Amino acid sequence: MPVIANHMSRELLRASPDEPIAEAAKHMVARGVGAVLVMEGDRLEGILTERDILKAVARGVAESARVRDWMTSDPETVEPSDETGHAAALMIYGGFRHLPVADGGAVVGIVSIRDLMRVTLEDSAPRGV
């Protein structure tokens, strides 16, 4: 089975817990990603996703709202050597679509459900295309 290291994104979008949620959302849109890693220095504090921002908007988020107010704290992580199937199971049963990838405590990447779908489709791509 394929491993996470071969399918994760290494171009990480990071936010500070004290950053305004609107700023984090703007950076996500500019990069075309659905999640931002919330970091305090080198420590992973949480993850802020499209769903978190949608919840904030639905509840009438205030201009003063910060990332820490809406992020998921202490998110699940996977290691680069973990198999993609393990990441997929965590996502399905946990109800989320993005997983930070940590190696020895250091965040080195992020993997999304879309990345894992690409792994699945590699074996079933139409021939001759």
Does the pLDDT at position 125 exceed 90?
no
**Nearest to residue 112, comparing CAs of 95, 94, 99, 93?**
99
DSSP state for residue 40 in the 8-state scheme: E
Domains of the chain, start order: 4-122 (3.10.580.10)
Residue 5: partners with Cβ closer than 8 Å, 6 or more residues away: 80, 81, 101, 109
- Would you state the pLDDT for residue 61? 82
Region 108-123: mean pLDDT is: 88
Predicted TM-score (pTM) of the model is 0.89
Query: Would residue 41 be called left, alpha or beta, if left means φ above 0 and alpha means ψ between -120 and 50 degrees?
Result: left
Whole-angstrom distance, CA of residue 125 vs CA of residue 129: 8
